[in-house]
Amino acid sequence: MSTDADFIVIGAGSAGCIAAAELARRDVGRVLLLEAGPSDNHPLVKMPFGLAWLMGSKRDWRFKSAPQKGLGGRQLNVHRGRMLGGSGSINSMVWFRGRRDDFDGWNVKGWSWRDVENAFEAVEAKLQPKQMTGVHPLVQALSGLFGGNANEAPTPEYESAGTFRFNMRDARRWSAADAFMRPAEEAYDLKVRTGSEVDRIEFEDGQAKRVILIDGTILTSAKGIVLSAGSIGSPAILMRSGVGSAAHLQEQGIEVIHDSEEVGENLHDHPAAGFYYAGPRSGYGLTLSQMPAWVLAPFRYLFVRKGRFASPTVEGGAFFNARGEAGEPDVQCHFIPFMLDWRGSRFTHGSGYFADVCVCRPKSRGRLRLTSADPNVAPDIDLGLFQDPDDVEILLAGLKRLRVLMNKAEFGKYRAPEVFPGPEVSTDEALRRYIRDRGATAYHPVGTLRMGEGTAPVTPRLSVAGVSGLWVADASVMPAVTSANTNAPSMMIGYRAAEFISEDAG
């Protein structure tokens, strides 16, 4: 029987682009990469500041979380990129591998720091993350906080602050689609199909065989299928395909192929909250005196690749121990030298800056469930934020220390007073209320298809337990979130997936 490909990869995101490109490079046969969204060929995708408009656009899945008990019932936006490059085409491009003992702590065979280091090296050889140049002076000042120098990027391994590294090239986004997918499309047998939203996978005698798109198109694979639709998309597709908790699937009228209780469980993200600072001569913002700079910004970006449009909004930050103990960092700070997302709207009059803290290793867990077998209906995304009181307490301590650090930083003439929530919100009770009222996430959901032994839905070699010919390659397989931003680890997972799949099924 003729097939459409040897391997079909579902989802051209950070991990999927690399899994597909590396499978093709390893000569496993014909590889077909399916993406629900459009191309990433759009000026706002390439221009770093463009993400301010991309979030909430048609290149975002625009999911909403379930009402969060730990946040007084608030629902959060769950932004996810919907285009080539996936969330890596809508993100801030901050680059961190995570902490070495994050991987050792996963306790999964083949995934210790020593096991993953080479994959990170291979990914970085193509992504070439670099410390950003031309950052706002406020960000430059951060590097003095823990005695570092301006040429050293902070690291989650120890207390440190300063300008982050980013996967940009010549002040343009350089995603997994740019670094891996497009070159592989040219050089190897890789075909990419956009506008191809997957409903489900069909099995024959427990072997994954066909991919069904929501428009009814059927695509067949000869050797296997790789799910790379991300922490929200992959478990939803898997459940619609009949792999998940039998009781839940039956509730949705879905035929059970394999009863796998933990599919969709273990959803978690980095919980975050921060402070807003405003003053007339402070960070970037919409003020009369900054109008000329905004008018010039597109031209400066276009002709010399500099200025505020070359900024991905987050420019730097820090890692520190929330309680100031001589321990390892347990919170990360993102510093944004712009007045953005204040008073509920993205752009607000005034100028200032924003600094948050997020918990590096949250204990709270939520879960993802289907609300319907219909792929057009969004799943129920319960992030489970702050279900564990320890997460609130670390964030509370982190916010208090953040204030101390922001006062200590040598911001000079750019210093501005904290205006929200304001210094009067200072008692533990008031800050806990603030976390409940304003807490959010860092858009790093992981864990819904945890890899591991025993009851884990995915094996350490990334195949879906209980069926054959089906693998997962994306952030959903992380047993626990890494201590910093999740794009680089997701790419590393895509790279490891191609290593395993080509060895096991190529």
CA angle 314, 435, 358 (to 5 degrees): 40
The answer to the question of whether 77 is labelled as a binding residue is no
Q: Which of 9, 29, 31, 37 binds ligand FAD (CB under 6 A)?
A: 37
The answer to the question of whether 55 is labelled as a binding residue is no
The DSSP bridge partners found for residue 3 are none
- For residue 315, give both structure tokens: 């420019």
Interacting span for ligand FAD (CB under 6 A) from 224-232, 301-309, 338-346, 450-458: 224-232
CA 285 to CA 136: how far, in whole Å? 12
What is the total count of residues that contact ligand FAD (CB under 6 A)? 41
Site string for ligand FAD, 189-218 (x = CB under 6 A): --------xx--------------------
CA 442 to CA 359: how far, in whole Å? 10
- 487: contact with ligand FAD by CB under 6 A: yes
- For residue 144, give both structure tokens: 């003095």
Half-sphere exposure of 24 (CA within 13 A, CB side): 25
Site string for ligand FAD, 134-153 (x = CB under 6 A): --------------------
CA 300 to CA 249: how far, in whole Å? 54
10 Å CB burial of residue 403 (0-12, 13-18, 19+) is: middle
Half-sphere exposure of 116 (CA within 13 A, CB side): 29
- 12: contact with ligand FAD by CB under 6 A: yes
Least separation in angstroms between CB 492 and ligand FAD: 11
Plot region of 155 (φ>0 → left; ψ -120 to 50 → alpha; else → beta): beta
10 Å CB burial of residue 63 (0-12, 13-18, 19+) is: middle
Interacting span for ligand FAD (CB under 6 A) from 29-37, 109-117, 119-127, 202-210: 29-37
- 444: contact with ligand FAD by CB under 6 A: yes
Q: Which of 50, 70, 154, 233 binds ligand FAD (CB under 6 A)?
A: 233
Residue with tokens 């919980």: 271
Least separation in angstroms between CB 426 and ligand FAD: 30
Chain centroid to Cα 436, Å, comes to 23
CA 40 to CA 60: how far, in whole Å? 12
Interacting span for ligand FAD (CB under 6 A) from 10-18, 138-146, 154-162, 407-415: 10-18
Nearer to ligand FAD, 432 or 444 (CB): 444
Shortest-Cβ-distance residue relative to ligand FAD: 13
- 387: contact with ligand FAD by CB under 6 A: no
**φ, ψ at 383 (rounded to 5°):** -70, -15
For the beta carbon of residue 121, count every other beta carbon within 10 angstroms. Answer: 12
Least separation in angstroms between CB 378 and ligand FAD: 11
Nearer to ligand FAD, 9 or 392 (CB): 9
The answer to the question of whether 241 is labelled as a binding residue is no
- 14: contact with ligand FAD by CB under 6 A: yes
CA 18 to CA 34: how far, in whole Å? 13
- 474: contact with ligand FAD by CB under 6 A: yes
Least separation in angstroms between CB 167 and ligand FAD: 8
Q: Which of 21, 22, 25, 91 binds ligand FAD (CB under 6 A)?
A: 91
Where in 235-254 is the site for ligand FAD (CB under 6 A)? 237
Spatial contact of 462 and 217, defined as CB atoms under 8 Å apart: no
Instruction: Give me the active site residues, please.
Output: 444
Which residues are annotated binding-site positions for FAD?
91-94, 198
| Residues in touch with ligand FAD (CB under 6 A) | 10-16, 34-37, 55, 79-82, 86-88, 90-94, 197-198, 228-231, 233, 237, 443-444, 474-475, 485-488, 490
